[in-house]
Amino acid sequence: MENAARTQPPDGALQPREPSGEPPPLTPGRRRHSLWERLTPLRWLTPSIAVISLVVAFPAAYMVWMSFLRIDRIGQIDGFTGLANYRRLFAEPALPQIIGNTALWLVVVVGLTVLFSLGLAQFLSKSFFGRRLVRLALIVPWAASLVMTATVWRFIYEGGNGLLNRLLMDIGLLNAPVDWYKDPSVAFFSIMAVGIITSIPFTTYVLLAGLQTIPHEVLEAAKIDGAGPFATYRHITLPLLRPSMLVALVLNMLHVFNAFTVIWVIAGKTAGHHADTTVTWMYKIAFTVQLDPGEAAALAVLNVIFLSLLVAAYVRILRPDRDVTTAASGAGPTRRAAVRAAVSGWSERVNAAVRPAFAPARRAMVHVGRGWARIRPVGLSVIGLLISAFFLAPYAAMLLGSLKSHAELFAVPAPYLPQEWTWSNYVDVWERIPLASYFRVSLTVALVATAAVLLIAAPAAYILARSKFRGRAAFLGIVLVTQMFPAVALLIGLYRQALFVDGVHTFWFIITVNTAFNLAFAIWIMHANISSIPADIDEAAMIDGLGRFRIMLRMILPLAAPALITVTIFTFIQVWNEFVIALTLFNDPANSRVPLTVGVQQFIGLYETNYQYLFAAALMAIIPAVILFALIERRLVSGLTAGSSR
């Protein structure tokens, strides 16, 4: 590893790896050339810098500005007020509880999500009958609108009429119904469970994409050298997975920290702060309780500062800019040696200390292992089936709910199946609201934004992975900041900006906004993935006379297929389900410019919520994402083989 690290250029300008060792003397032409070379990263990053700064900078600055303004209950600005908003915020009696909740939420949800996702990704990287089903099943919770997922979980969590209680009582685990989301002593944990379940699919895919870039030979080598599965995992897989882990952890932290929907939909209308995190509390401060947008902005600013520190500390510890590729990019023999060293080091230690004590256990393990080997194909399929069932269950509940009558939805105990299967809901809903038009609009916005994200993020990710330049880590950090703003806090700034550029209710503006806010994830995921593709490929191609752009296009992007796919799906789903910004900025029924998420709100009345149609529409809205995924899923697998058979 040490050896390989030394082959990297020293910190500084990008250095095209020239075949000759000595740098030629600097002539004027040469100097111009080298300036051009030095500006390469900037040129490659320009599109993303432009989009992000044009779209995000103003609303972000406006949010900060708002935190110093006195804004009255109806939103009128009463002038500059200095730090008064911050003082009021710190005087709130609920503050300590909210901070505690937020910390707990962050640690538990991110921790368990990553833990479960690691296992799941490992599982999905094995080949077994039905693997495709499991992958598809994971897409569903991801593709489903979070609002609808949370709504169906609220139904599942109901007390006397809840499905979970019915199930647990039927199998004898509970004697009396539990008020899963109402009882203040369990509510927050119930919501955490939903937070974890909804974060797992995305995390798993990021990790899976990472696993697939690990060359097969390495694992083979470890096997040949006698490493057990655990040793291989601990010493080979995990270290090689580090870039993806980092991405998964950071993105999860941001995602989970700003998770508004899940908590709000499930517990937003229950009294008290036992389930509030800073984001839901911010909404309460601005719009439902204190009615103080200035104080809410102050909280948003503190949120961003805290998140920045958290991510910075985190990045410092895990150091994404330390070149991880070196571990995998050395030539074959070196890699073997490294593996052997790692494996033998580990086994020696084990041999010395543990072997005598655990001999019987080892023998038992061997037996179990042999038994497992025999049933492995079936066993994996069965486990896969169970996992699929688990992730699909809420949507099965949604499907059944879409067919139940209102009375059945609230019946005690909850019936599993509807009495009458009113499939006509699925036909009627198209006539109740202009659903076809909503689909068209959402599809247009999501597809164009996804394409734009890929186009803009790919060069940025490539150059970030392939050249070392000052400000590289800073850039990676800065793009992440765009993910730290809670949407509700940016809304007013975005709206002002839209007014200024005459972009309210226009396609181009909502697409640009969605593109800008999704670049960060895309750049991070692709950067991590490209980093783990050996750089010798570029070098070889460069010697063959290919330009950088062609190298990226023809060599690297095909190899980064898993990441491209993850990004495509991720972006598509994010844009497809985006609600808060569209509601304000892209909501013009007169000109048929209403996206699906906004349109289905018509089924939510003051007292009457038409769950049948809501659920029906929500389920149908999952379909485009699942189709998209099914179409490119093959590439996900072939990306794997391309990576290993190179």
What are the start-end ranges of the H helices in 467-560? 472-481, 487-500, 507-531, 536-543, 548-550, 557-559
Q: Is 583 helix (H, G, I), strand (E, B) or coil?
A: helix
Exactly one of 301, 448, 452, 488 binds another protein (CB under 8 A); that residue is 488
Contact status: 305 vs another protein (CB under 8 A) = no
Report the site for another protein in 75-104 (rule: CB under 8 A).
75-77, 93
Q: What are phi and psi of 602, to 5 degrees?
A: -60, -20
We find the least distance from the C-beta atom of residue 453 to another protein, in angstroms, to be 19
- Cβ nearer to another protein, comparing 39 with 193: 39
We find the least distance from the C-beta atom of residue 407 to another protein, in angstroms, to be 6
Report the site for another protein in 493-532 (rule: CB under 8 A).
495-497, 499-500
We find the least distance from the C-beta atom of residue 150 to another protein, in angstroms, to be 13
Alpha carbons within 13 A on the beta-carbon side of 486: 28
Binding range to another protein, per CB under 8 A, among 188-196, 269-277, 564-572, 633-641: 269-277
Helix (H) or strand (E) holding 308: helix 293-318
Q: What DSSP letter does each residue of 402-417 carry, written as one string?
A: HHS-HHHHT-SSPPSS
Tokens of 595: 């996206």
Contact status: 577 vs another protein (CB under 8 A) = no
Residue type (1 letter), 499: L
Binding range to another protein, per CB under 8 A, among 56-64, 299-307, 512-520, 535-543: 56-64
- Cβ nearer to another protein, comparing 158 with 538: 158
Q: What percent of the residues of the chain are helix, what percent strand, and what percent coil, each to the nearest 5?
A: 75, 0, 25
Report the site for another protein in 141-180 (rule: CB under 8 A).
159-161, 179
Cβ atoms of 163 and 397 closer than 8 Å: yes
- Cβ nearer to another protein, comparing 369 with 477: 477
Residue 552: name the closest of 535, 569, 528 by CA: 535
Exactly one of 308, 381, 422, 609 binds another protein (CB under 8 A); that residue is 609
- Cβ nearer to another protein, comparing 242 with 505: 505
Q: Distances in Å between the alpha carbon of 88 and those of 67, 92, 344?
A: 11, 7, 60
Distance CA 48, CA 574 (A): 18
Tell me which DSSP letter residue 71 carries. Answer: E
- Cβ nearer to another protein, comparing 45 with 628: 45
Contact status: 439 vs another protein (CB under 8 A) = no
Cβ atoms of 78 and 70 closer than 8 Å: yes
We find the least distance from the C-beta atom of residue 93 to another protein, in angstroms, to be 8
Binding range to another protein, per CB under 8 A, among 107-115, 347-355, 543-551, 600-608: 600-608
Tell me which DSSP letter residue 601 carries. Answer: G
Distance CA 575, CA 445 (A): 7
Exactly one of 5, 7, 9, 12 binds another protein (CB under 8 A); that residue is 12
We find the least distance from the C-beta atom of residue 454 to another protein, in angstroms, to be 21
Report the site for another protein in 30-49 (rule: CB under 8 A).
38, 41-42, 45, 49
Cis status, amide bond into 320, omega within 30 of 0: no
Tokens of 121: 């990704």
Cβ atoms of 69 and 77 closer than 8 Å: yes
Contact status: 587 vs another protein (CB under 8 A) = yes
- Cβ nearer to another protein, comparing 50 with 630: 50
Contact status: 378 vs another protein (CB under 8 A) = no
Contact status: 612 vs another protein (CB under 8 A) = no
Report the site for another protein in 184-203 (rule: CB under 8 A).
184, 187
Distance CA 124, CA 641 (A): 15
Tell me, residue by residue from 328 to 357, as one string, x for binding to another protein by CB under 8 A and - for no binding: ------------------------------
Report the site for another protein in 273-292 (rule: CB under 8 A).
283-284, 286-291
We find the least distance from the C-beta atom of residue 269 to another protein, in angstroms, to be 5
**Residues in CB range of 359: below 8 A, 6 or more apart:** none
Tokens 């095909």 belong to 558
- Cβ nearer to another protein, comparing 181 with 391: 181
- Cβ nearer to another protein, comparing 61 with 389: 61
Chain centroid offset of residue 120 CA? 15
We find the least distance from the C-beta atom of residue 41 to another protein, in angstroms, to be 6
